[in-house]
Every structure is written in C-alpha cells, then in structure tokens.
Amino acid sequence: MMRHAHTLDMTEGKPLTLLTVFAIPLLIGNLFQQAYNLADSMIVGKLLGADALAAVGATGSISFLFFSVCNGISSGCGIVTSQYFGAGNHEYVKRAIVNSAYIMLGASVLTSVFAFAMVPTVLGWMGTPEKILPQAVTYMRMTSASVPLIAVYNYASSMQRALGDSRTPLYFLVASCILNVGLDLLFVGAFEWDVFGAALATMLSQLLAGTGSLLYAFKTNPYFRVGREHRTLDRTIIRNSVRMGLPLALQWSLIAISTTALQTFTNTFGPGAVAAFTATSRLEQLVQQPFGSMSMALSTYTGQNMGAGRRDRIREGFRDSLMATAVLALVMLGVMQLWGNSLIGLFVNEKDVIDLGGNALRITSWFYIFLGTIYACRGVLNGVGDAPFAFINGIVEIAGRIGLPLLLSQATGLGVWAIWYTAGITWALAGLSCLLRYVSWRKKPDRKRLAGTAA
C-alpha cells in the first residue's frame, strides 16, 4: 500500500487506539461545524430576538432534507474509496476520487436548483407561522444556494477520510468557523442585515472550508494527483458509489422528512415552542458530535478492513466504539440534568422559553444511550456497504416522528412535551433496530467484494 503523511492504514493495530486517533480530529471538526449553527442561533437570538431565532430554526429540518442527497452520495463514494484503499489498490483509489467528483458535481447542482425553487412551497406545507415566514424564506433560500459549496467540502473530506486523513479537513473548518463568527457579528450586528446576514456569513465560511480543503489535498496528497487514465468515467465505480450512496441519501431524507414532520407539529404551539425546539435541537446536534465522529471513524475503519477481508477486526472495533459511546451518553445525561436551563439561556433571553427548553433537555437526555447505539451500528453497517439497512433505519425514524406526536399529545395529554418525548422514543426505536441489523450482519457469510479489492 502507498503510504503518506496524509493517509492512515487502519487494517493493522489496536482498533480502539486507531478509532480514537482518527475520531478526535473529526470531533473537533464537527464541533466547529456545529459552531456555524450555534453562532447563527446565538447571535440571531440575542440580537434579533426569539422570532428571528424561530425563523432560522424553522428551516433546519428542511435544510437537512435538501442536504441529504449530497451527504449520502459523498458517504457512498467514501465507502467505495476506503475499500479500495484497504485492499491496497491505489490505481482504483485514484479512479474513485475522480469519479466521485463527477457524481458530487451533478448531484449538488440539481439539488440546489430544486431546493431554491421549492422553499416557499415547502415552508407553507409545514405550517410555518406567518409572523416568521418571510425571514424563514430568506434564510432557506440562501441555504439552498449554498448546497454546491457544502458539497465541495463533503467531497473533499469524505475522500480524505477514506484514506485515513481526518486532520486536513479540520484545519479548514477551524479557519472557516472563526470567519463565520466574525462575519455574523459584522453582517447581523454592525450592518443589521437580519437573517440574510447570518446566512451569508455561513455561506462564505463554507466556501472557505470546501475550496481550501480541496486545493490543499491536490497539493499534498499523492492520491489526488491523477493522470489522464484516471479521469475517464468508470461505470463500475459510479455504479458502486451510487448503489451505496443512494440508500444513505434516502435514509437521511427519510430522517429529514420525519424531523420536518416534527417541526410541523412544533409549529402548532407557536413561536415560543419553535424557539425552544430550535435551541434544544442545536444543543443536541452538539451532543451528537462525539457519537457522529466515532461513527465516521468506524465507517472508514470498517471500509478499509472490509476491503482487506478482516471481519474479525470489524467486530472488535464495533465493541470498542459501543463502549465509548455509552460512557459519553452518561456524561451528557449529567450535564443536561444539571445545567439544561443555563444552556438554553445562551440562545434566548425570554424566561418562558428558557424554562421550556431546559425541561425538554432533561427529558431527551435519558435517551442519549440509544443515540450512541445508533451511531455505532451505522458506522459498521455503512462501512460494509449494507445498503438495505439505511432504508430500514430511515423508515423506523419516519414512523416514530410522524406517528408518535399525535399519539402522545392526544392519548396521554402531554401537550407540548410530546415534541421531546417523540424525539427520545424515536431514538430508542431506531437504536434497537440498528442493533438487530448488526447482529444479523454478523451471522452472514462474506459478501462479494468490489472489483479491485482483496479476494
């Protein structure tokens, strides 16, 4: 295998050590990426008020829906590339890098155009309160236009992670996050550009992260130095990338649809509930970053070991990652129980919103253990290319977030609290389904490998 400072072979060595070393830069990067959302929410909420925060928050689930296509495709491309890398076939790695770029370019442009056109219609379907609708449309349209910029970063980072490099994307995320906070204060605070300024700040910061990371990869990583023979369309690579990526895109789309349904239910309780739900969602996105980082590390680790034919190491890596996520879940449970109100107070000044959000965090934090299970199982199952699992998991989440709100609010009289009980119970259902799917995979014999990987 071609070794380089910007690659990491995860087919040898202690799994927990490899996963931790790989996951720490991912965690730092993900935290900085979440800082985009946190900076927007805190600055908008504090400077413009709860209604502006609600307008930004009302677009979160639908933004995730539009981003799901690019996220899924980039993940599928990364899985294919990591399996070629694990098999030691660097010629196929280069072909995969080039063909992944073709796929991401087409997917991101089409998604951006469609999303931009559909913004008013979708926000109307969701029952977004009239009071915040104009600001929500403005913010969402800016977000839709930024899809190709986000796709550039997703592409660059997924290729680098597939080769074992989780550090390079981090450097550019740190720089872009600092830029984002500065531009937020300038555009929203000084220029008074309202939510348009917050969206523009995030858009420009994403441009820095994506182009910077990609240009640096071309300059420093030998796998990105491709010849003419690597630039031709490879139907096998494209087919395998799409075969693995589309189910992931579908999974995340279903999850996004389910969160959109929950957002629609939340909208019926008015701007105060929407603001509280926005704040709790932002914080729980932060909570999920350690789980997500371990999952991404495990996916790369699994992909490389699958390419090398090392199923024993995959099982060992899953066990270690599941234990690590359980410890993290218990720590975050304590944090939310003790300091939930104080954390919500970082976003808004209104006491009723703070009390509502703080109690909501004390409800959902009891379910964090299931979040850890979801991410650990996803890391392995995505890494081995278990495409049907992604669809199954998405169905479970959409069933939970669509069916539970009405059941809990009407049958139990929970009222507004049904929002957060729905989130927690849905995590529990999805976590159990993920675990059952992993157990099923363990009992199956080796599947047919990709062309160019180990026999």
In this predicted model, what pLDDT tens digit does every residue of 327-368 receive, in sequence order?
A: 999 999 999 999 999 999 888 888 888 999 999 999 999 999
State the pLDDT at residue 447: 55
Q: Please say whether the beta carbons of 402 and 260 come within 8 A.
A: no
Q: Is residue 450 part of a domain?
A: no
DSSP state of 13: S
State the pLDDT at residue 127: 81
State the pLDDT at residue 425: 94
DSSP state of 186: I
pLDDT-derived band at 1, boundaries 50, 70, 90: very low
d(CA 317, CA 396): 25
**Looking at the predicted structure, is the pLDDT value of residue 99 above 90?**
yes
Mean pLDDT, rounded, for 386-398: 78
Name every residue whose Cβ is closer than 8 Å to that of residue 139 and which is 6 or more positions away in sequence. 55, 56, 59, 195, 196, 198, 199
pLDDT digits (tens, 9 = 90+) for 257-307: 787 788 888 888 888 888 898 889 888 888 888 998 899 889 889 988 988
CB-based burial label for 190 (10 Å; 0-12, 13-18, 19+): exposed
Locus of tokens 């490879």: 234
d(CA 93, CA 241): 12
pLDDT digits (tens, 9 = 90+) for 45-62: 878 887 888 887 778 777
Residue percentage of the chain with pLDDT more than 90: 22
pLDDT-derived band at 68, boundaries 50, 70, 90: confident
State the pLDDT at residue 150: 85
Least confident of 6-10, 12-16, 281-285, 355-359: 6-10
State the pLDDT at residue 445: 67
Q: Please give the span between the terminal C-alpha atoms of the chain, in angstroms, as a whole number.
A: 16
d(CA 129, CA 90): 53
Retrieve residue 59's tokens: 């677009």
d(CA 444, CA 199): 47
Q: Is residue 451 part of a domain?
A: no
Mean pLDDT, rounded, for 112-129: 86
d(CA 407, CA 374): 24
Q: How far is CA 166 from CA 19, 25, 30, 73, 180, in A?
A: 11, 6, 11, 19, 22
Q: Is residue 448 part of a domain?
A: no
Q: How many CB atoms lie within 10 A of CB 327?
A: 11
Mean pLDDT, rounded, for 104-118: 90
Name every residue whose Cβ is closer than 8 Å to that of residue 417 and which is 6 or more positions away in sequence. 359, 360, 363
**Looking at the predicted structure, is the pLDDT value of residue 216 above 80?**
yes
pLDDT-derived band at 449, boundaries 50, 70, 90: low
Residue percentage of the chain with pLDDT more than 70: 94
Least confident of 103-112, 113-122, 172-181, 228-237: 172-181
Q: Please say whether the beta carbons of 47 and 350 come within 8 A.
A: no
Find the farthest-apart pair of alpha carbons in the chain and give their distance in angstroms, rounded: 65
State the pLDDT at residue 455: 43
Q: Is residue 1 part of a domain?
A: no
State the pLDDT at residue 274: 86
Retrieve residue 269's tokens: 């309780």
Q: Is residue 5 part of a domain?
A: no
Q: Which domain holds residue 156?
A: 15-442
Number of domains in the chain: 1
Retrieve residue 307's tokens: 């390419």
**Looking at the predicted structure, is the pLDDT value of residue 413 above 90?**
no
Q: Is residue 114 part of a domain?
A: yes
Retrieve residue 21's tokens: 């070393």
Q: Is residue 266 part of a domain?
A: yes
Retrieve residue 231's tokens: 């630039």
Q: Is residue 449 part of a domain?
A: no
